[in-house]
Amino acid sequence: MDKSISENGETVADGSIRGYDSLHQLLSANLKPELYQEVSRLLLGSNCGRSLEQIVLPDSAKALSSKHDFDLQAVRFSADEEQMRKPRVVRVGLIQNSIALPTTAPFSDQKTGIFEKLKPMIDAAGVAGVNILCLQEAWTMPFAFCTREKKWCEFAEPIDGESAKFLQELAKKYNMVIVSPILERDMDHGEVLWNTAVIIGNNGNIIGKHRSQYMLRKTPSSKLVSFWSKRCEIVFNPSATVGELSEPMWPIEARNAAIANSYFVGSINRVGTEVFPNAFTSGDGKPQHNDFGHFYGSSYFSAPDASCTPSLSRYRDGLMISDMDLNLCRQYKDKWGFRMTARYEVYADLLDKYIKPDFKPQVVSDPMLHKSSS
């Protein structure tokens, strides 16, 4: 992080604002407290009618954050009390980070460097009692797909590869499920590459994997929506995206998925600007460049009641911890009532028609309709 950057948003030579840590920090530093509270109500929502509470973390977690200079935030989502179920509170964590070494370093050093960098952050999650931790997309490597160079595929691993071994020990040590999104090479199917989240159970076993429908770039929010049919109560969206491409969408898509599907969403974006040795173009008519842009971090959680946590830093590595009472999911399904009235068979029928090659959308226009209705 550039140390000259002001916490309150500093005006730089071209008149633009740089270097603020997050939108919420920018607003809280520049608005009167009562104004900030109202702006927060509109931007962050309120959780069961209350502001989100801070979680008190053990000193050992805070010490790791100070020593290794990463952002550490911890916030609690509550739910209403129920008569027939007890609260089901899970402590969940997200990690965002920059790469450890320049992209010109030997690949194995780059990977080991990231392992070493992540270790104290995962330790902090562990000592803070996190039950489920998710890392960022393709966390073992720079996000080199923008270069279109194939050599970066060397970072791919089978799901039980080096990164899994590194995490399995920590998962077991801290009794913590770890979701590990990597570039996967499927050795059993002709070395096919996948964008895969490996799920390491709290006993250190690999208990599952999820392969994205979309290969690294171009990950749509529909990816999230398709989880509504499962029994999901938390969906993680590990991603890698830069300011110009998506920053205004960042507070929108995940929150919408949480609201529309009545589940929690964890959104993770990596941090920093990754500079590559060979220049490349991005298909947008702009001159060639050696970096894809600034990965703006800003990882956060969203809840079914439209509330969300503030975001982690736009510049620093970070660990976001959140307690979630999963009972909130069903409470919001019942509150909105769509599960009483939803007509999934209508959507199924529509989609079946839509995928037929001879599908024609209904288009009405004045002369046609006027004739047929007269």
Which 222-251 positions form the footprint of a second copy (CB under 8 A)?
Answer: 222, 225-226, 229-231, 244, 246-249, 251
Whether the CB-CB separation of 159 and 201 falls below 8 Å is answered with: no
Of positions 91, 111, 185, 255, contacts a second copy by CB under 8 A: 255
Comparison of 57 and 257: residue with beta carbon closer to a second copy: 257
Does 43 sit near a second copy (CB under 8 A)? Answer: yes
Does 112 sit near a second copy (CB under 8 A)? Answer: no
Beta strand pairing call for 53-54 and 17-18: unpaired
Does 5 sit near a second copy (CB under 8 A)? Answer: no
Whether the CB-CB separation of 319 and 124 falls below 8 Å is answered with: yes
Residue 314 amino acid letter: R
Does 201 sit near a second copy (CB under 8 A)? Answer: yes
Interacting span for a second copy (CB under 8 A) from 104-112, 120-128, 136-144, 196-204: 196-204
**Alpha helices, DSSP H, located in the chain:** 23-30, 33-44, 59-67, 107-127, 162-174, 222-225, 243-246, 253-261, 327-336, 338-341, 344-354, 366-373
Does 48 sit near a second copy (CB under 8 A)? Answer: no
Beta strand pairing call for 89-96 and 318-325: antiparallel
Does 281 sit near a second copy (CB under 8 A)? Answer: no
Of positions 4, 15, 150, 287, contacts a second copy by CB under 8 A: 15
Interatomic CA distance for residues 212 and 197, integer angstroms: 8
Comparison of 190 and 285: residue with beta carbon closer to a second copy: 285
Least distance between a second copy and beta carbon 8 (Å): 9
Interacting span for a second copy (CB under 8 A) from 181-189, 269-277, 321-329, 355-363: 355-363
**Alpha helices, DSSP H, located in 252-326:** 253-261
Interacting span for a second copy (CB under 8 A) from 57-65, 70-78, 185-193, 345-353: 345-353
Secondary structure (DSSP) of 172-203: HHHT-EEEEEEEEEETTTTTEEEEEEEEE-TT
Whether the CB-CB separation of 296 and 247 falls below 8 Å is answered with: yes
Does 280 sit near a second copy (CB under 8 A)? Answer: no
Interatomic CA distance for residues 82 and 52, integer angstroms: 20
Query: Would you give the binding string for a second copy spanning residues 64-93, x where CB under 8 A is met?
Result: ------------------------------
Comparison of 100 and 225: residue with beta carbon closer to a second copy: 225
Of positions 2, 4, 32, 104, contacts a second copy by CB under 8 A: 32
Of positions 13, 287, 346, 358, contacts a second copy by CB under 8 A: 346
Residues 287-306 that bind a second copy (CB under 8 A): 306
Interacting span for a second copy (CB under 8 A) from 118-126, 183-191, 254-262, 320-328: 254-262
- Say if residue 245 is exposed, middle or buried (CB neighbours under 10 Å; 0-12, 13-18, 19+): middle
**Alpha helices, DSSP H, located in 262-341:** 327-336, 338-341
Does 218 sit near a second copy (CB under 8 A)? Answer: yes
Pick from 4, 20, 3, 11: nearest CA to 298: 20
Least distance between a second copy and beta carbon 186 (Å): 15
Beta strand pairing call for 89-96 and 132-134: parallel
Interacting span for a second copy (CB under 8 A) from 27-35, 116-124, 128-136, 316-324: 27-35
